[in-house]
């Protein structure tokens, strides 16, 4: 008796998880390079080494696949930032110097993550080229991470560990600076080691200028501004 052939798009159960991951990884690379409109499911299937039916079976429509790509990079980024933010929160009680060092460490974690996962930057930059489209992705996969760090800065200001009148602006500025750094690395101009070293030193100087002793002394002036997003 012969074994019935499987229908296209119906992989065996035991290989379903790796197949889905392979499809999403291939789609992430394609969307990061070319954007949503320029990528078709057939291209994704070819890059993943499967047929189109398998792509649809595992991820649904192209819009659902696009969402899954952002969900994948978000989950990895969220895990590392949550851990670093937790350590930073614990440092607030130790005073301003400890809080500043914890922020250095948090930003280093973020820089390390994006240097190791440049497709995250490329995926988001493609998305932000059309700010009025796919806005639900920002609400699901960007805002929670922005809020995580904004809440940390707000808590640090309330604890007297630093002066931060507009934490949402600081977070947004740092995020864009780090994405710009990743783009510079991808461009391959000059020494990558030097770019990494000099950017890390810049971010630390930036944080020290914002939250060093002089900035803390100016807190009375900063209190004229709101400390949370309106």
DSSP assignment of 111-149 equals HHHHHH-HHHHHHHHHHHTSTTSSHHHHHHHTHHHHHHH
Mean pLDDT of 38-56: 95
Mean pLDDT of 85-111: 94
DSSP string, 29-59: HHHHHH-STT--HHHHHHHHTS-HHHHHHHH
pLDDT band at 220 (very low <50, low <70, confident <90, very high): very low
Looking at residue 212, its pLDDT comes to 86
- Placement of tokens 């400390």 in the chain: 227
Compare 94 and 3 and report the one with higher pLDDT.
94
Looking at residue 67, its pLDDT comes to 97
Ranges of CATH 1.10.357 domains, the chain = 66-222
When the pLDDT of each residue in the chain is averaged and rounded to a whole number, the result is: 88
Please list the helix, strand and coil fractions of the chain in percent, rounded to the nearest 5, in that order: 75, 0, 25
Ranges of CATH 1.10.10 domains, the chain = 11-60
- The structure tokens listed for 23 are 């499809």
- Let me know if domain 66-222 sits in CATH 1.10.287: no
Looking at residue 222, its pLDDT comes to 44
In the predicted structure, residue 14 carries a pLDDT above the cut 90: no
Mean pLDDT of 127-145: 94
pLDDT band at 227 (very low <50, low <70, confident <90, very high): very low
Dist. CA 193–CA 174, nearest whole Å? 20
Q: Are 51 and 23 in contact (CB under 8 A)?
A: no
Count of other CB atoms within 10 angstroms of residue 187:
9
Report the share of the chain in percent with pLDDT over 90. 80
Compare 17 and 145 and report the one with higher pLDDT.
145
- The structure tokens listed for 184 are 């510079």
Looking at residue 189, its pLDDT comes to 84
Helix (H, G, I), strand (E, B) or coil at 178: helix
pLDDT band at 190 (very low <50, low <70, confident <90, very high): confident
pLDDT band at 228 (very low <50, low <70, confident <90, very high): very low
- The structure tokens listed for 217 are 């002394």
Helix (H, G, I), strand (E, B) or coil at 162: coil
Angle 108-170-118 (CA atoms, 0-180°, nearest 5)?
45
Mean pLDDT of 143-166: 95
In the predicted structure, residue 167 carries a pLDDT above the cut 70: yes
Name the CATH topology of 11-60. Arc Repressor Mutant, subunit A (1.10.10)
Mean pLDDT of 63-77: 96
Mean pLDDT of 124-139: 93
Dist. CA 170–CA 156, nearest whole Å? 14
pLDDT band at 230 (very low <50, low <70, confident <90, very high): very low
pLDDT band at 174 (very low <50, low <70, confident <90, very high): very high
Distance of CA 205 to the CA centre of its chain: 22
């Amino acid at each position: 008796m012969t074994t019935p052939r499987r229908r296209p798009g119906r992989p065996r159960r035991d290989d379903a998880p790796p197949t889905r991951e392979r499809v999403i990884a291939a789609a992430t690379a394609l969307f990061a390079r070319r954007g949503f409109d320029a990528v078709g499911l057939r291209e994704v299937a070819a890059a993943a080494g499967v047929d189109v039916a398998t792509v649809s079976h595992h991820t649904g429509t192209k819009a659902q696949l696009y969402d899954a790509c952002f969900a994948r990079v978000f989950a990895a980024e969220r895990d590392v930032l949550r851990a670093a933010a937790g350590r930073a929160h614990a440092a607030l009680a130790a005073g301003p110097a400890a809080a500043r060092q914890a922020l250095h460490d948090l930003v280093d974690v973020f820089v390390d993550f994006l240097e190791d996962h440049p497709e995250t930057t490329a995926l988001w930059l493609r998305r932000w080229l059309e700010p009025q489209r796919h806005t639900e992705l920002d609400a699901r996969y960007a805002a929670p991470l922005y809020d995580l760090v904004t809440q940390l800065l707000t808590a640090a200001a309330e604890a007297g560990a630093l002066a931060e009148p507009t934490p949402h602006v600081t977070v947004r500025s740092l995020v864009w600076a780090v994405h710009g750094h990743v783009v510079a690395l991808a461009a391959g101009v000059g020494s990558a080691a030097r770019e990494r070293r000099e950017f890390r030193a810049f971010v630390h100087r930036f944080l020290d200028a914002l939250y060093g002793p002089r900035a803390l002394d100016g807190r009375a002036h900063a209190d004229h501004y709101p400390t949370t997003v309106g």
